[in-house]
Structure formats: C-alpha cells, structure tokens
Chain A
Amino acid sequence: MFNTMTRNVLLTPFLIWAVLFIFVPLICIVWYGVTDYDGNFSLDNMSLIFERGYLAALKLSVELALISTVVCLILAYPLCLILTENRRDNTTIISLLFILPLWMNSLLSTMAWQTILESNGIINQLMRLLDLPTFNMINTQGAIVVGMVYNFLPYMVLPLFISLSKIDKSILEAAQDLGANSWQTFFRVILPLTIPGAVSGITMVFIPALTTFVISALLGGGKLLLIGNIIEQEFTFQYDWHVGCALSVILMIFIVMNMLLTAAFDPLKEEGDG
C-alpha cells in the first residue's frame, strides 16, 4: 500500500511513543526489580514473593481472575448469540446498554457496588422490606468477583460480538443444508469460528482482573489483598520501589505466560492477535 519510505515516516510518531512510554518504563521496572537499594544486582526482591505470604496473594488473584473470566464468558456468550441472531431489531440499544457502563468512571461504579452490597446496603434493605433473610456479601471474595465481572464484562462482550457477527450467514445455512441440527451447527461451526474472539475476550478480562487493586480495595474491605494491592502498597506506603518493581515483573511474567497459553488454544493464530 505504502512504499517503505512513507511507511517509515508514518511509523515514526508511534515508534517514538513506544520507546518513550513503553520500552523505557519497562526497562526501568526491570532495572529496579533486579537491583537493591544501593544499586547492586540482587534477586532478593524477587525471592520476597516466597516470603511474607505474597504467594498466597498471587494465588488468590489468579483464582479470582479465573472465576471472573469464566463468569464473564458464561454471561457474554449467550448474550452475543442472541444479539447477532436478531440483528435487525434492537441490537443497537442492547449493545449500547453494554457499552454504557464504560462511560462511567470505573472507580465510581465500584463504589456504587459498595453501597449496594453493604450489610445495610440497598439489597439488604430490600430483603428486610420483603421479610427475606439478609446476607453478608461485602468484604468477601464474592464481592470482589462481582466487582470484576461488572467492570470487565464489556471487554468480553465486544470481541465476542464482533467475531459472531463476522460469521457469514450462508455458512450456517450451508451447515443446515448438509443436515446439521442446531446443536451440531453450534458446536462444529459457530464455536470454532468464535474462538479468536473468545480468546481476546478472555485475555482482556483476565489481565485487568489479575492486576486490579481498586476493586479489591473497595469491595474487599482491606482484608483481602490481591497482588495488585501489595504492589500498590509497596509503592505508596512502604516506598520500596525495588520490591514493587520486582513483584510487577513477576506479575508480567504471569501475564505473558497466560497470553502464550491462550494463544496456543487459538487455532487460527490470527496475525497481530494479542
């Protein structure tokens, strides 16, 4: 499309951006992570993950992120199927409804969940009004999962919706012509074709869920620390950049592993995916 010269010129702004704001900070993080306070090379900060119970926090983060991702997938897939089937009707309205939460600051919506789930919160007040038993949801793992699902569901819906709507109707008609019932069509045609969308949806939900610290801070009551909270505390409270960066590097390794893993499940290996 472009010749090499124009291409290079057009790429320059992004390259400058990438070097300044992606590579340089990344190198800084790794540098801080593998040095100690005096600037000597040291892996002590890294090995801290095995002490202080930080490994438990990482494990909890992975668990909750996995649960949230699965919940998002279960919620989003049927929704997207329905959305793409009646494409002519009220698709715009419904899909708008799902993008709408993204317009609101996620901090605010998470705080709203706090007041919804509190023991004197909206749900429990309603339960009391109806003489139903109240329940204790705030400051539990469940509350954090609710917050994650609410915040990250749109990131699952959008790629799934796009990959579903990309499927050519004539392929489905062909499957039916060849005698496939609707279950067979779904499992042998639709599902394989939407795996790329599902894979990017999973990545887009799993990674922010794994690294979040706001949701767990607001809905976990400070009792449940995820790895993100620990990194945040190391920077803001303990003021130990070396430990904070070392933990960030470990988290990044986790994320890269996750991306490699999900990419391995992606049969189409779309170019530039992930």
Chain B
Amino acid sequence: MKFKILALLLVSCLAIGIAGCGGGDKKDNVVYVYSWGDYIDPEVLKTFEKETGIHVVLDEFDTNESMYPRVAEGAVHYDVICPSDYMIQKMISNNLLQPLDFNKLPEAKKNIGEDFFKQAESFDPGNKYSVPYCWGTVGIIYDKTKVTDPVDSWNILWNEKYSGQILMQDSARDAMMIPLKLMGKSMNETDKDVLAQAQAMLKAQKPLVQAYVVDEVKEKLINSEAAMGVVFSGEAPIILKENPNMAFSIPKEGTNLWIDGWVITKDSQNVDNAHKFINFMCRPDIAAQNFEHLGYSTPNIAVRDLVEDEELKNSPIAFPSPEVYSGQETYKYLGNQMDEYYNNLWMQVRVDS
C-alpha cells in the first residue's frame, strides 16, 4: 500500500513536471514577469488572471545587479521586467529591450504623470522603452530622542557625536552618492579625482558607521538599534509607523530620485500579453491597490484620490510636493568600466580597516 502511494506521488510529480515544461506551448496565455521581491500585491495578479485569462509566472530579484546577468545570458526568458533607472539604461544600451507600443498602453499614457516621464528621459531618452512604476528618494531617518542637531544635511553622517549610531546603505552607487552630493558634485560623476575624494570621505566616515546594511535597515531602525540611517523613502512610512520616535528628512544638498519602470525584453515571446500586463498595472484602481500594499510612491497621478487610508493619503513622504523631486538627479548608467570602477572604490572602503 505504502509503495503504491509513493509510486502515485512520483508519477504525479513527473506529470506536474512535464506539464510545467509543456506550459510554454500555450504561449498566448502566459506572461513571464521578473520583478523586485514583494513589489506587486498578490491580489492584483489574481485579478489580472481572472480578467484576461493570462497566466502570470512571477519571479523575483533583490538587486538590479543580480537580475541583469540572468536576463543578459538568456538563461531564462522573461517578458516583463521592472529594473531601476540606470539599469534600464544599461539594458537599452546593451540591446536587451524592445521599444514599447504605447498604442497598446492607453492607461499608461493617461495616468502616469508627465513629470515622471520627463525625469525618465534621463535614462530612457524619448520614453521609448519604459513605463515608470514606483519612484522615491533617499533620505535620512533619525531618532528624535537621540539626535539633537538639525538633520538637514548629509553632513550629519560625519558628526562624531553619533559614532557607532549611523547606518549606511551597502551599495556602491548609493554610498558614493552621499559624499558626491555633499561636495556639490553630480551623483553620476566620472572624474576619477573627484571620485577618489568621495571615497576618502567614506573611508574617514567608516569608524563612525555601525553597519553597512540593505534590507536590515528597517528592522534595525524600528528597534532603535541606531540613531540614524540612510533609507529609501518607500521604507520610511513603515519605520515611522512602527517607531514614533523616528523622523524622515531629505538633505538639502540633494538626493537620488530613483524610478523603477516596466520594460519588455527584446526576445519576449509574449509581447501582446506583456503590453496587457503593463497597461493593467497602470490602471488607477490597480495602481492604488499596489500602492497601499507597498507604500512606495507611485507616479500614477490618479491614485491619490483612490487611497482609503487617510494617514497614507496625507503622508508627505508617500506623496511629496513637487519641490522635493524637481531638480533632483537620477542615476545614469556610466558604462561597464565606470560601473566596475565605482564597485572597486566601494569595495576598498569596505575592506579598509
């Protein structure tokens, strides 16, 4: 008897495996989506499947850098991807994306704010390849009970008073952005002397830093592990909600305005479905649902009226006034060599002791 059950299990596993492989044949009914972890409300995907009959296969990534080689190597074929600004530019210049057909994206044309399309031109000239999905800034979250100085400048991250109480982002571009802005330079700087100066500032700061973090920053700040930390604006509302001692500030020297956007891959097998998917994500009700699930700012201007949570609706962090983002820079792709150069500079800071 036991053997029979086992055999049955094995056979059904095999059958599922074969069906899984065979699924690719029904091409007009699938769309392969590759997006950041927890970046879409699962309910939204169910609604999409119900309304269109298109099955969504969702894979997730945690950094632009880990996503890129998988797509570039062509090991897996995705239709729709959601990379960030500079990575979209990198993918365009390496011929991995196809131009979007905006006739198939009426909701995107109607609902995505013009400001955001304009900002997106810095990495996608002519807005040919991408539709903005989420955006945000980078700022400092600080503990009002511990930080007595005004937090309006990146300078505070070099204040020795807060030694061992500072959390920094562990990523080359985000780390270098801060000293570059402090020096009044561009965050897309390519002058090696300037970059060396920025690196020296980070090395000088290292003894004051408690840790270089990525996602852990949320938990650490909620638990008051540090007095201040560099965070993405989308993470701020959650931290403020959980820990009322905290406040969020965008330094006056300027910050990175990042935009994540939907793109379609060059070798997409389901181009029509991909467009349907992107169009669906731009629908106000769907965008609102995603927004309430994520808390990241949305470029979809129709969303604010639909948000039910009053607190979120009036949050200046989730819906900043235009002054916050006008004039801010967005990361650009600086070429493979410069990418590597930035990474090496950052690696040296981290190895330095």
Q: Mark A residues whose CB is within 8 Å of B.
A: 52-54, 56-57, 60, 118-120, 136, 138-139, 221-225, 230, 233, 236-240
Flag whether B343 is at the interface (Cβ < 8 A): yes
Select one of A119, A223, A224, A237 contacting B343, CB under 8 A.
A237
* Residues on A with beta carbons closer than 8 Å to the beta carbon of B211: 138-139, 221-223
A56–B351 CB distance below 8 A:
yes
- Is B225's CB under 8 angstroms from A119's CB? yes
The answer to whether A60 and B353 have CB atoms under 8 Å apart is: yes
* A139, B224: Cβ atoms closer than 8 Å: no
6 A-B pairs within 8 Å (CB atoms) are namely A60-B353, A119-B225, A222-B211, A222-B213, A223-B211, A238-B343
Q: For A234, give the chain B residue with the smallest CB separation.
A: B347
If A118-B223, A239-B65 touch, whether A230 touches B347 (CB-CB below 8 Å) is yes
Question: Are A233 and B347 also in contact (CB < 8 A) when A222-B211, A223-B206, A239-B68 are?
Answer: yes
Assess whether B350 is interfacial by the CB under 8 Å rule.
Answer: yes
The total of chain B residues at the interface (CB under 8 A) is 25
Interface SS, A side: loop
Chain B positions 308-353 with a Cβ under 8 Å from a chain A Cβ: 340, 343-344, 347-348, 350-353
The complex places the Cα of A130 from the Cα of B350 at a distance, in Å, of 37
B160 CB to closest chain A CB (Å) equals 16
B190-219 toward A: CB 8 Å interface, digit per residue (1/0)?
A: 000000000000000010011111000000
With A236-B66, A238-B340: A225-B225 Cβ-Cβ less than 8 Å? no
Known pairs A120-B225, A239-B68; A223 contacts B350 (CB<8 A): yes
Residues from chain B with a CB closer than 8 A to the CB of A138 are 211
Which residue on B lies nearest to A233, using beta carbons? B347
Please tell me if B150 contacts chain A, counting CB pairs below 8 Å: no
In the bound complex, do residue A222 and residue B350 qualify as a contact, i.e. CB atoms below 8 Å apart?
yes
Q: Is B20 an interface residue (CB 8 A)?
A: no
> Is B170 an interface residue when CB atoms closer than 8 A count as contact?
yes
Given contacts A139-B211, A222-B170, A223-B206, contact A237 B65 (CB under 8 A): yes
> Once bound together, how far apart are the Cα atoms of A186 and B216, in whole Å?
49
Q: State in angstroms the CA–CA spacing of A217 and B331 once bound together.
A: 27
Q: Provide the residues of chain B in CB contact with A233, threshold 8 Å.
A: 347
- A138→B348 CA distance, assembly (Å): 22
Task: Name the residue of chain B whose CB is nearest to the CB of A236.
Answer: B66
Interface string of B175-187 (1 = CB under 8 A from A): 0000000000000
Q: Which 10 A-B pairs have the closest CB atoms?
A: A221-B211, A222-B212, A53-B351, A222-B170, A225-B351, A239-B69, A139-B211, A237-B65, A225-B350, A238-B343
- Complex CA distance for A223 and B164, rounded to whole angstroms: 12
Q: Tell me the nearest residue of chain B to A222, going by C-beta.
A: B212
Please name all residues of chain B whose beta carbon is closer than 8 Å to the beta carbon of A119 when the two chains form the complex. 225
Closest to A238 in B: B343
Please indicate the chain A residues that have their CB under 8 angstroms from the CB of B212 in the complex. 221-223
